[in-house]
Structure 1
Amino acid sequence: MIHELPTDEGDGAMPLLFGRVLDSEGGARTIDWEAVQAWRPGAEGEVLWVHLLRTHPGVQQWLEDHLAIPRPTAELLTSDDTRPRALREGSTLVATLRGINFNPGAEPEDMLSMQLWSDGARVVTLRRLPQQTPRIICDEIDAGTGPVDAGSLVTALTEDLIDRMSHAIIDMNDAINEMEDETIDTGTDAMLDKIATIRRNCLALKRHMSPQHEALLAIANHAPAWFEDHDRREIAETIARLRRYIDDLDISKESAIVLQDDIRARVAASTQRTQNMLTIVAGIFLPLSFITGLLGINVGDIPLATPGSHGFWIIVAMCLGIFAVELLIARKLKWF
């Protein structure tokens, strides 16, 4: 289970959620929005990272004017079209990535998008809803153990997004294992509802993770020159993990289907046994009901109806005899 972590902050008055200038040694200094406007690469290896609220008014215009980003790309970075993708524009890398939504009340399939742009000297990340990944990487930088350049920052953000997907998959696998150990008496409808939810989550996650796999491949294969060989190797490892997670999703989905079929088969078998028992009981009492009904009709000449004939006890004995014979026949036929 994921512990709740602080998400990226912001004061709401400007689009900057936080900003850092990486010092190429794993640390950074904080930079405010005013300083961002005037920032230029200074000491060798310095990289500017700004994390922005993409829904803030004026963000698209700032991207176009201050960073000279083409309008179509700026629109992509600030739009609600969040399908994972990655592309190269000259010496810049543009990507849209998605991660698990760990905000309170969110479901795993409610994934969050993070847009990313970098030219090697500057990295801009944008989001709409609070996310944990940028804040975690920022905390590592503040502790002096973070990425050292733009390439390693991109790979660190990507790795954390992908690693967090594993927690949702593990939670689903644990839920399936727990249900496999439960009995049908714990509530069939509740178990089937849980399984249906897991199957929906698996489908939703795979729907987002498959294009993310293609996006990471595009980064690994087509990133600009400032994205170094060791960064490509890190992305390759992340791609391999993502493939395993996709395979795990398939396994979880198949396990959920098998469990669902097993529960339904057990319910059907239980229902069939109940129906068989009711049929046997009805078959046993049908002749007895016929006899008592026949002797109970209100007409003359009913046998054993005269006083002193002990008709009642004779009929009771006859019914008990028929009942005993029926039980023996049912036992011989292995009806129960």
Structure 2
Amino acid sequence: MPESVFLTDDGDGPTPLLFGRVLDGKGGGRPIDWTEALDWKPGAPGEVLWVHLDRTRPGVSELLQSELAIPRTTAELLVSHDTRPRAFREGDTLVATLRGINSNPGAQPEDMVSMQLWSDGKRVISLRRNPLQTPRDTLALIDGGTGPGDAGALVTSLIEHMIMRMNRSIVDMNDHIDALEEADGGDTAERVLEEIAIIRRNCLGLQRHMGPQHEALESIARDAPEWFEEHDRREITETIERLRRYLDDINISKESAMVMQDELRARALARSNRTNYLLTIVAAVFLPLSFVTGLLGINVGGMPGVASDHAFWIVVGLCLGVFAVQLFLFWKWKWL
């Protein structure tokens, strides 16, 4: 069967296999097709099989149970839509569900994608539903001869690349916040507030998934089988610390967004209060003047000054006098 069938990650091939490699224990690996993967046995010391599968294909759960003797509940977990991060040891095997940043076009950072892992120390099976870039990062290292040499290092590499991709999204969010802070007055407050709300939703989405992932990684470092060597546990511990720093960065980004949001709302409220204050002053100025002119404008008999040529200027002078008294009182009361 042509090798190219197993080098695409579009899930359109005739089998669940997206790609497969047999690790040689020295950082490299050779491609393997689906038929060979089903009957694979270690041909040399240190060889490890890695297959990356599309879990949405029919019969994947049954295949895991029949070919790998994976318990039914575990097989169903590996192909289920329950993608909350978790990890546990089952005998001499490691089972994990992890979530990573969705780097697909048009996706938001909080739209995370999941990857399921199963390994018995000789075989590593990774499964996904939507395209995920993390396995491709590790695959490139293997094809370049600088990849992991055993199952524990392979699992560690997959987890490290998944967590490292978080940093890019966090840096992008921080850059976006900095750009919003430095934006000129031409940007409307409504648009900036909308973008800040998006950033806060992204932060909350990342926190919602990364919190359980932190616990899953701690479970791997604590309870992984014996084939997960000590240096692999140290690498996982470092990854946990990196994830903790990323979570702290997410908190800082969220707090920065909240501070900016509060500041913009305070500015908008201050502008609104200033406008209302000016309108109130104008109304207070013209209310007595409107009363005087309205009183003199009633159409009834006996209005004084109707026959006088100087009555108009007298009224104007009266209004100016009232206006001057108002300005003095407003100044004295510190309204102006």
- If the length of structure 1 is used for normalisation, what is the TM-score? 0.94
Work out the CA distance in 1 between the residues paired with 2:74 and 2:118: 9
Aligned to 2:100: 99
Aligned to 1:321: 321
- Unaligned runs of at least 5 residues, structure 1: 1-5
Work out the CA distance in 2 between the residues paired with 1:182 and 1:266: 15
Question: 1:157-179, CA deviations, whole angstroms, 9 ceiling, x for partnerless residues?
Answer: 00011111111122222222222
Question: 1:257-295, CA deviations, whole angstroms, 9 ceiling, x for partnerless residues?
Answer: 222111111111111110010000010111111111011
State the number of aligned residues.
330
Work out the CA distance in 2 between the residues paired with 1:9 and 1:278: 63
Displacement, 1:12? 2.5
Within 5 Å, which residues of 2 pair with 1:169-248? 169-182=170-183, 186-248=187-249
Larger CA deviation: 167-176 vs 90-99: 167-176
Is the contact made by 1:8 and 1:135 (CA closer than 8 Å) also made in structure 2? Answer: no
Is the contact made by 1:8 and 1:132 (CA closer than 8 Å) also made in structure 2? Answer: no
Is the contact made by 2:8 and 2:18 (CA closer than 8 Å) also made in structure 1? Answer: no
Displacement, 1:185? 5.5
Displacement, 1:184? 6.1
Runs of 4+ that moved beyond 4 A: none
Change (3 A) 1:296 1:10: closer
> Sequence identity, in percent?
64
Work out the CA distance in 2 between the residues paired with 1:190 and 1:13: 47
Aligned to 2:43: 42
- Unaligned runs of at least 5 residues, structure 2: 1-6
Larger CA deviation: 258-267 vs 321-330: 321-330
Work out the CA distance in 1 between the residues paired with 2:9 and 2:231: 28
Work out the CA distance in 2 between the residues paired with 1:188 and 1:218: 45
Question: 1:42-83, CA deviations, whole angstroms, 9 ceiling, x for partnerless residues?
Answer: 111111000000010111111111111111110111111101
Work out the CA distance in 1 between the residues paired with 2:133 and 2:175: 23
Change (3 A) 1:86 1:72: same
Report the residue type matching 1:333 in the other structure. W
SS of alignment partner, residue 38 of structure 2: helix
Aligned to 1:3: none
- If the length of structure 2 is used for normalisation, what is the TM-score? 0.94
SS of alignment partner, residue 36 of structure 1: helix
Work out the CA distance in 2 between the residues paired with 1:21 and 1:332: 89
Within 5 Å, which residues of 2 pair with 1:254-293? 254-293=255-294
Is the contact made by 2:18 and 2:54 (CA closer than 8 Å) also made in structure 1? Answer: yes
SS of alignment partner, residue 145 of structure 2: coil
SS of alignment partner, residue 138 of structure 1: helix
Within 5 Å, which residues of 2 pair with 1:26-65? 26-65=27-66
Within 5 Å, which residues of 2 pair with 1:126-205? 126-182=127-183, 186-205=187-206
Work out the CA distance in 2 between the residues paired with 1:212 and 1:237: 14
Work out the CA distance in 1 between the residues paired with 2:12 and 2:177: 42
Is the contact made by 2:101 and 2:113 (CA closer than 8 Å) also made in structure 1? Answer: yes
Displacement, 1:135? 1.0
Report the residue type matching 1:228 in the other structure. E
Is the contact made by 2:8 and 2:19 (CA closer than 8 Å) also made in structure 1? Answer: no
Question: 1:174-223, CA deviations, whole angstroms, 9 ceiling, x for partnerless residues?
Answer: 22222222356521221221122111111111110000001000110111
Report the residue type matching 1:269 in the other structure. A
Larger CA deviation: 109-118 vs 187-196: 187-196
Within 5 Å, which residues of 2 pair with 1:304-315? 304-308=305-309, 310-315=310-315
Larger CA deviation: 240-249 vs 7-16: 7-16
Instruction: Please tell me whether residue 334 in structure 1 is matched to residue 334 in structure 2.
Output: yes
Is the contact made by 1:7 and 1:131 (CA closer than 8 Å) also made in structure 2? Answer: no
Report the residue type matching 1:80 in the other structure. H
